[in-house]
């Protein structure tokens, strides 16, 4: 399948998944919608998606790496450093225990060779933050458990990859190199941290230098903003492939880079407001698209695996292996979180069930196709890990509905916020009635303000649209007057919110949301191309 056609299909499907979820299935995670669309695409001959060859390195570098990079920017280095003991425990010790126990269980119960058992066990250890969101959608995770799961999904992939490389080497050469594996782990991890922080430091210094040299302090615009944004978007992919080229962990590298960029954003967001806002918008858009694409590809790949005829006599065995891998990982996670992390019994089960396996596990399984492993064993691994992925998503989806409280909206608060929004708009309307403005501007302003509380119809919109089309270009003086009128109206709305916020501290979060909304409306309305 042509690469460009596949990319186009994936992006369109991602957008369609988000639309379907927002319009019809708001109680269902968009990831499940994307997964379903991927399955449908794989079953429809027109798309020919079964003809595409899954490239795990490209998948990890172009899709997973940016997701981890952007996700890491929501963390602070200080919080990661402060939690280093629990992070090492979860991502290294717990992963190692789960791998060893799972491998020997497969050896004793199924009769697989130890090298193959370790391959299966290592692939089963990475967890997926995007997949975890699918099973907890609309539910409230305990904050402490949620932090543990987020830290784990960011950093445990490297351990799984190192253990997998060890197992593959053992499988191919029939010789286990524990010391070499340990050295490789240290080199891969420390090297990834150094590379990610080092390259990011250079990029940050260059970017900040460009901003300060080219920044127009009058307009707060930089002439290099487009180039800076391009390099920012490309950073995770470039870092990942650079890391892979020098044999350090690409995952650790992009996570470290994301943390470094988080520190930069915290201290430079006022320096170039436009650049910060652009990066924020691009990050959110790319994250949403890539998240959906991950599950679309997963859906396509699951169908492709199920349709594979290379495993006719070992399907039962593969399913059994997948079930064992899931159960062993589940109980290791429960016991470790209960005894080591000191979680309560309930929270320990939530943590255990929250270790969702997704696209990273699938990608690691596919990497075996590039080795000298036998085709039969490759398909056995692929089918087993597919079973593991399905179980890890379906079981928590069911159990969490009984175990976790629903993230139900505060109906009273929503009513209060709606009332405040209405009063805010009416307050601004009353204030603007006391100042002079031409009839045309007054009608426009009233329409825009009432639109904030959904008091305008499509008929009203079409009427205003016709006026805009028919009206000649405003003169410079008219534009300045209009902008001043709108600035006054927005200021009145903010003043009203400020007065209410002091009285109703319990609704501060909602007030801040409304306040940001008004500020954004003002920024967009008063953008340079409106002058």
Per-residue HEC secondary structure of 421-466 comes to HHHHHHHHHHHHHCCCCCHHHHHHHHHHHHHCCCCCCHHHHHHHHH
Mean pLDDT of 480-487: 84
Domain limits, the chain: 57-293+316-403, 411-530
* Whether the predicted pLDDT of 56 surpasses 60: yes
Which residues are registered as beta bridge partners of 222?
Answer: 215
Looking at residue 194, its pLDDT comes to: 94
Determine which of 161-170, 284-293, 299-308 has the lowest per-residue pLDDT on average: 299-308
Q: If phi over 0 gives left and psi between -120 and 50 gives alpha, with beta otherwise, what is residue 436? A: beta
* Whether the predicted pLDDT of 472 surpasses 80: no
Q: How confident is the model at residue 73 (pLDDT cuts 50, 70, 90)?
A: confident
| DSSP state, residue 89 | I
- pLDDT tens by residue, 121-134: 999 999 887 667 77
* Residue with the two structure tokens 């505060």: 410
Label residues 327-343 b or e (16+ Cβ within 10 Å = b).
ebbbebbbebbbeebeb
Looking at residue 75, its pLDDT comes to: 82
Which residues are registered as beta bridge partners of 221?
Answer: 216
Q: How confident is the model at residue 221 (pLDDT cuts 50, 70, 90)?
A: low
212 or 119, higher pLDDT: 119
Distance linking the first and last C-alpha atoms of the chain: 48
* Whether the predicted pLDDT of 453 surpasses 80: no
Q: How many angstroms separate the CA atoms of 503 and 507, rounded?
A: 9
Q: How many angstroms separate the CA atoms of 269 and 79, rounded?
A: 20
310 or 1, higher pLDDT: 310
- pLDDT tens by residue, 320-355: 999 999 999 999 999 999 999 999 999 999 999 999
Q: How confident is the model at residue 413 (pLDDT cuts 50, 70, 90)?
A: low
Mean pLDDT of 166-193: 86
Determine which of 101-110, 264-273, 461-470 has the lowest per-residue pLDDT on average: 264-273
**CA nearest neighbour of 151 among 103, 97, 94, 99:** 94
Backbone angles phi, psi at 406, to 5 degrees: -75, 140
The alpha carbon dihedral of 336, 187, 326, 363 has a sign of positive
Angle at 487 between CA 450 and CA 447, to 5 degrees: 20
Q: How confident is the model at residue 418 (pLDDT cuts 50, 70, 90)?
A: confident
* Residue with the two structure tokens 């090297």: 191
* Whether the predicted pLDDT of 441 surpasses 60: yes
Looking at residue 219, its pLDDT comes to: 47
The tokens for 522 are 């003002």
Please name the helix (run of DSSP H) or strand (run of DSSP E) that holds residue 222, with its range, or none: strand 221-222
Mean pLDDT of 137-161: 85
* Whether the predicted pLDDT of 218 surpasses 50: no
Residue 149's contacts (CB-CB under 8 Å, 6 or more residues apart) are: 127, 129, 132, 141, 351, 354, 355
203 or 210, higher pLDDT: 203
Gyration radius of the chain's alpha carbons: 27
Residues in the chain: 531
Looking at residue 272, its pLDDT comes to: 60
Q: How many angstroms separate the CA atoms of 78 and 524, rounded?
A: 34
Which residues are registered as beta bridge partners of 406?
Answer: 139
Looking at residue 225, its pLDDT comes to: 65
What's the burial of 314, exposed, middle or buried (CB within 10 Å: 0-12/13-18/19+)? Answer: middle
- pLDDT tens by residue, 237-270: 999 999 999 989 888 899 999 988 887 776 665 5
Mean pLDDT of 179-193: 86
Determine which of 216-220, 353-357, 402-406, 487-491 has the lowest per-residue pLDDT on average: 216-220
Q: How many angstroms separate the CA atoms of 444 and 481, rounded?
A: 13
The CATH class of 57-293+316-403 is: mainly alpha
Determine which of 43-57, 279-293, 330-344 has the lowest per-residue pLDDT on average: 43-57
């Amino acid at each position: 399948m042509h690469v460009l056609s596949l990319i186009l299909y994936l992006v369109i499907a991602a957008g369609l998944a988000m639309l379907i979820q927002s319009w019809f299935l708001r109680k269902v995670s968009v990831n499940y919608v994307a997964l379903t669309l991927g399955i449908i695409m794989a079953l429809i001959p027109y798309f020919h998606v079964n003809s595409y060859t899954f490239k795990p390195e490209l998948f990890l570098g172009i899709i997973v790496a940016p997701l981890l990079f952007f996700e890491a920017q929501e963390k602070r280095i200080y919080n990661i450093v402060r939690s280093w003991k629990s992070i090492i425990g979860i991502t290294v010790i717990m992963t190692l225990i789960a791998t060893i126990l799972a491998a020997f269980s497969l050896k004793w119960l199924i009769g697989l060779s130890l090298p193959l058992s370790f391959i299966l066990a290592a692939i089963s250890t990475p967890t997926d933050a995007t997949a975890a969101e699918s099973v907890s959608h609309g539910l409230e995770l305990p904050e402490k458990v949620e932090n543990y799961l987020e830290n784990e999904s960011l950093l445990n992939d490297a351990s799984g990859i190192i253990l997998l490389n060890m197992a593959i080497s053992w499988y191919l050469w029939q010789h286990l190199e524990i010391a070499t594996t340990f050295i490789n782990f240290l080199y891969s991890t420390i090297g990834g941290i150094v590379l990610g922080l080092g390259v990011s430091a250079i990029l940050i210094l260059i970017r900040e230098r460009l901003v300060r040299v080219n920044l127009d302090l009058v307009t707060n615009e930089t002439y290099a903003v487009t180039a800076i944004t391009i390099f920012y978007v490309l950073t995770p992919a470039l870092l990942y492939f650079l890391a892979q080229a020098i044999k350090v962990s690409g995952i650790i590298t992009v996570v470290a880079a994301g943390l470094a960029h988080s520190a930069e954003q915290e201290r430079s967001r006022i320096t170039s407001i436009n650049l910060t806002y652009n990066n924020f918008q691009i990050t959110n858009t790319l994250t949403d698209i890539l998240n959906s694409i991950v599950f679309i590809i997963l859906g396509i790949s699951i169908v492709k695996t199920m349709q594979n005829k290379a495993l006719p006599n070992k399907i039962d065995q593969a399913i059994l292996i997948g079930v064992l891998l899931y159960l062993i990982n589940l109980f290791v996670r429960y016991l470790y979180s209960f005894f080591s992390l000191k979680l309560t019994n309930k929270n320990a089960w939530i943590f255990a069930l929250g270790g969702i396996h997704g696209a990273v596990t699938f990608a690691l399984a596919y990497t075996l196709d590039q080795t000298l492993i036998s085709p039969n064993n490759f398909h056995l691994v692929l089918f087993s890990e597919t079973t593991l992925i399905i179980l890890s998503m379906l079981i928590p989806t069911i159990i969490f509905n009984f175990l976790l409280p629903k993230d139900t909206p505060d109906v009273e608060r929503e009513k209060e916020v709606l009332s405040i929004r209405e009063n805010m708009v009416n307050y601004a309307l009353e204030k603007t009635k006391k100042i002079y403005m031409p009839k045309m501007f007054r009608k426009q302003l009233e329409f825009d303000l009432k639109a904030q509380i959904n008091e305008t119809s499509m008929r009203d919109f079409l009427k205003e649209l016709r006026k805009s089309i028919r009206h000649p270009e405003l003169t410079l003086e008219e534009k300045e007057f209009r902008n001043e009128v709108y600035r006054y109206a927005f200021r009145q709305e903010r003043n009203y919110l400020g007065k209410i916020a002091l009285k109703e501290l319990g609704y501060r979060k909602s007030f801040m949301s409304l306040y940001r909304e008004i500020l954004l409306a003002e920024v967009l309305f008063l953008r340079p191309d409106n002058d």
